[in-house]
Every structure is written in structure tokens, then in C-alpha cells.
Homo-oligomer: A and B are copies of this chain.
Amino acid sequence: MRFTSERRLDDGVLEREFALGEIPGILWTPVSASEPAPLILIGHPGGLHKMRPRLVARARHSAEYGFAAATIELPGSGDRPRSAAAEQARADLRRALQAGEPVDEEIVDRLILPLVDTAVPEWQATLDALLPLPEIGGPVGYSGGVIAIGVRLAVVEPRISAAVLFAGSFVPRTLFDEARQVTIPLHVLLQWDDEGNDRQAALDLFDAFGTKEKTLHANMGGHTGVPQFEGDAAIRFFTRHLS
């Protein structure tokens, strides 16, 4: 990993862009890091540039509570090379949604499973690169983004101690088996009227998680309508489990 840029935000947060091989990423560290800060991995749907204002807002909010935050670009998003198979699956999904048809499990599998298989080792490599930095300490949380990536990470990555999951994207049925193996504390967000999501599947997934300590927060409105107070609730969850 090498840092490619550095700037100080007006609230004192240090923002550094980095490259992990070919993968671009961003690291934010709080202004007063007298002790190594716990780290929150900030998930997103892909497209660092487009998502950047929201990612920065989440990172600054985390820094207020003493957390460092980091994110990387997803495979096939932003400036990273596209996969023809993933583009085809995305087009098939869009067509089904626009036609108002139920989304075939086979399309979800083609779209999500290769993404999870590629992305998860990349987030783990990000941890390998960031955790040795003196300003970063454990424990680590994962927050938001593609929920299937969060589920897989929660199962396979022992350095992640707690996760906020956004039940706002499709989950392949095979991930339900992995969900049963999750044992870390979970805080799950659900938008009740999310137009591109299956509410019952989200409730089934929440039910499936194997952990004893899981909370579901459901709010009205569509995919992008998560109320602002949920940001505070998520940070309080991380404060309970990472501090």
C-alpha cells in the first residue's frame, strides 16, 4: 500500500488516498489520536468518486467519536476494470426491475457471488495494510454497503468485531447459510419501502443470522431515505462494541 495524497479537513480529520496495488482507497484518521484508533471499514455500493461526499460525511461522523475509517473501490466500479459477466447480470437485473418482474435468483447469483468472492479478500488485504499503522488499532467494525459482502466478511474475518449491515441489496440464497454462522454483534438497517429490495427476504436474513446480539432498525421510505438519526444509532452501536 502507498499513500497517494493527503489533506487535512477543516475539522482536523486527516484524509489520505491510497493505492493497494491497483485498488484505490481512502483512509480518514481523527485529529486527536493519542491512542491508536479503532477502525471502521465503510462499505458502499461501488463508485468511490460518486459516493465520496457521503463517505466523507460518514468518516467525519465516525472521527467525532474517535474512530478511524477506511474504504476501497469495489471490483468493477469506478475506474476499475469492468467484468463482462457482471455487466450482463446488472443489465438483466435492471430489466427485471423495470418490467416489475420478480428477480430471478440466478441473476442475483451471477451479479453478487463473484463480487463477494473478489471483494472480500480485498477488504481483508486492506486490513493487513492498515492495521500495522501506528495511528490505527483494533478492534475493527464494518459498516454498510453491499450486504452480501458484509455477511461474508463477518463470517471469514476474525478481526471484524461488529458490523452495521444495510439490508438494501439482493442476497444470494447461499449467503443465508453463511448468515447462520455469524456470531459477532450486528446492527441491521432496513428501509421498509425500498423499491429495489425484497422486504421479506431482508426479514428472513435478519432471522437467519446466528448471532445472539442483533438489532433490526426499520424506517419508512425508500432506499436512500435512511433517517439522519440512524447515523447516530450506528455510531452508538460501534461505541458499545469497539471502544
Contact = CB atoms under 8 A, between A and B. Distances in A.
A203 interface: yes
Interface string A209-235: 000111111111000000101001100
Interface string A193-221: 00000000001001100001111111110
A180 to B, nearest CB: 14
B229 A220 contact: no
A236 interface: yes
A199 to B, nearest CB: 9
Nearest to A206: B218
Contacts of A236: 229, 232
B214 A216 contact: no
A215 B230 CA distance: 10
A214 B193 CA distance: 12
A192 interface: yes
A50 interface: no
Nearest to A211: B220
Contacts of A203: 203
B215 A219 contact: yes
Interface in A4-34: none
5 tightest A-B CB contacts, nearest first: A216-B218, A215-B219, A212-B220, A217-B217, A214-B220
18 contacts: A192-B206, A192-B207, A203-B203, A206-B218, A212-B220, A213-B220, A214-B219, A214-B220, A215-B218, A215-B219, A216-B217, A216-B218, A216-B219, A217-B217, A229-B236, A229-B240, A232-B236, A233-B233
